[in-house]
Structure 1
Amino acid sequence: MSSSLKRPESVLVLVYNQDAEVLVLERCQPRGFFQSVTGSLEWGESAPAAAARELEEETGLSPVPAPRDCHLDAYFEIHPAWRDRFPPGTQQNHERVFCRAVQGRPAIRLNPEEHVSWQWMPFDRALAKVSSHSNRQALCQVIPLRMR
């Protein structure tokens, strides 16, 4: 497959700490779109490898230990404005959820081509802030109830 076209598979990596604070990133485009770490799998790349790569690329956090596979999947329609980035006829994306617990609030090094800001937020605030329904659903399923 042409490397110029995106693979319609992605990872979502939830980063949180022992206080149930969640790392939330604001995208460059569109501004005001908040999310957890996310990104498309490269052609020939496994989902676990993509989760580790995206974690490091988007936050500067070490991919060791590797993000944990939460065995959660989401399918969503690709926005029509972005469909030309994918193989012809592609309308849906498959997203696999991973998570990574960290200690405290480690400093974040953003990729300035993707994100303009980051914040550690309490679970409830992060849930209200993230823009994607699949991101909200993953937060509810992954962050343990006892931590919220």
Structure 2
Amino acid sequence: MIEKKYKIPISVLVIIHTKNMEILLLHRQDKPNFWQSVTGSIEEGESPADAAKRELLEETGIDHQKFSLIDWNFSQQYEIFTHWRYRYPPTVTHNTEHVFSVEVPEKIKIKIEPREHKEFKWASVSEAIKTVFSDTNADALKKLYEIKQIGDKINL
């Protein structure tokens, strides 16, 4: 009998944005109206930073070595939707999401993973906040906007 492999309830969120605060959004393949930043669960033995680098490359084709991946040293916890809990061990109800960002100089060419996403778009911060499905994604976008408004570099 094959043992079921569960997801680890730790994930990453990577916000990709231009210097002018245009936000890259990805449209999920399996869910209509589900737009998001780069996200994904960590794999066994992987750090959140390594997961962010892997997910960034897998979902967009962006190499973290070309652009700086910034670790916000910030995480958010959210309740996993009941209909997605089968992916996790039976007693798990919450996920911890570590937040990262990448600033690119302009809207760059993106190579989406077609099994996960059907399209991408660049959006203003306000449009992105209204468009993303996840509250934690919207909250991170608001935080990024506030930081950029006061002229600080991300140093969380």
TM-score when normalising by structure 1: 0.93
Deviation of 1:17 (Å): 0.4
- Contact 1:78 1:91 (C-alpha < 8 Å) held by counterparts: yes
Q: 80-89 or 2-11, which moves further after superposition? A: 2-11
Which structure 1 residue ranges, 5 or more long, are not aligned? Answer: none
**2: distance between equivalents of 1:119 and 1:80?**
29
Q: Once the two structures are superposed, what CA deviation does each residue of 1:89-111 show, in whole Å capped at 9, x if it has no partner? A: 11000000000000111111010
- Contact 1:3 1:43 (C-alpha < 8 Å) held by counterparts: no
Alignment of 1:52-67 (within 5 A): 52-64=53-65, 65-67=67-69
Q: 40-49 or 134-143, which moves further after superposition? A: 134-143
Q: Which residue of 1 aligns with 2:135?
A: 133
Structure 2 SS opposite 1:137: helix
Deviation of 1:132 (Å): 0.7
- 2:112 counterpart letter in structure 1: L
Larger radius of gyration: 2
Deviation of 1:15 (Å): 0.3
**2: distance between equivalents of 1:121 and 1:135?**
14
Q: Which residue of 2 aligns with 1:101?
A: 103
Which structure 2 residue ranges, 5 or more long, are not aligned? Answer: 152-156
2:149 matches 1:145: yes
Q: Once the two structures are superposed, what CA deviation does each residue of 1:101-131 show, in whole Å capped at 9, x if it has no partner? A: 0011111101011101100111111111111
Seen in structure 2, the aligned counterparts of structure 1 residues 73 and 86 have a Cα distance that, compared at 3 Å, is same
Once superposed, which parts of structure 1, at least 4 consecutive aligned residues long, lie more than 4 Å away? none
Deviation of 1:27 (Å): 0.5
- 1:99 counterpart letter in structure 2: S
**1: distance between equivalents of 2:150 and 2:25?**
21
Q: Which residue of 1 aligns with 2:30?
A: 29
**1: distance between equivalents of 2:26 and 2:74?**
21
**1: distance between equivalents of 2:150 and 2:68?**
23
2:28 matches 1:38: no
Q: Give percent identity, aligned residues only.
A: 37
Q: Which residue of 1 aligns with 2:154?
A: none
- 2:44 counterpart letter in structure 1: W
Structure 1 SS opposite 2:57: helix
Question: Matched residue pairs, number?
Answer: 146
Indicate the RMSD between aligned Cα atoms, in angstroms. 1.4
